[in-house]
Chains A and B, each alone.
Chain A
Amino acid sequence: MLIVNSDIAQSIRGYGARDYPNETCGAMLGCDGAEGREVRALFPLTNRRDDSPRNRFSITAEDFRAAERAAREQGLELVGWYHSHPDHPARPSEYDREHAWPWYSYVIVSVASGEACDMTSWQLSDDRSAFQTEEIAWAIPPGTIKR
Chain B
Amino acid sequence: MAIRLEIPTALRQFAGKQASVEFNATTVGEALQQLTGTYADLRKHLYTEDGRIRSFVNIYLNDEDIRYLQKENTPTKDGDTISIVPSIAGGAKI
Chain B contact-residue range equals 20 to 34
Number of A-B pairs, beta carbon distance below 8 Å? 91
Interface range for A: 35 or more
Against B, the Cβ 8 Å flags (1 = close, 0 = not) of A83-110 are 1011110001111100111111010000
Closest to B91 in A: A56
Does the CB pair A102–B10 fall under 8 Å?
yes
Complex Cα spacing A9 to B36, Å: 38
Asked if B45 and A95 make an inter-chain contact with CB atoms under 8 angstroms apart, the answer reads no
A93–B44 alpha-carbon span in the complex (Å): 20
Given contacts A102-B11, A128-B45, contact A59 B89 (CB under 8 A): yes
The secondary structure that dominates the B interface is mixed
Establish whether residues B92 and A64, one from each chain, have CB atoms under 8 Å apart when the complex forms.
no
> For the complex, what is the distance from the CA of A21 to the CA of B86, rounded to whole Å?
26
Q: Produce 1/0 per residue, B80-94, CB < 8 A to A.
A: 000001111111111
Which residues of chain B (2-48) have a CB below 8 Å from chain A?
8-11, 13-14, 41, 44-45
A41 within 8 Å of B by Cβ?
Answer: no
Contacts of A61 in B (CB 8 A): 58, 60, 65, 85-87
B residues touching A (Cβ–Cβ < 8 Å)? 8-11, 13-14, 41, 44-45, 55-56, 58, 60, 65, 85-94
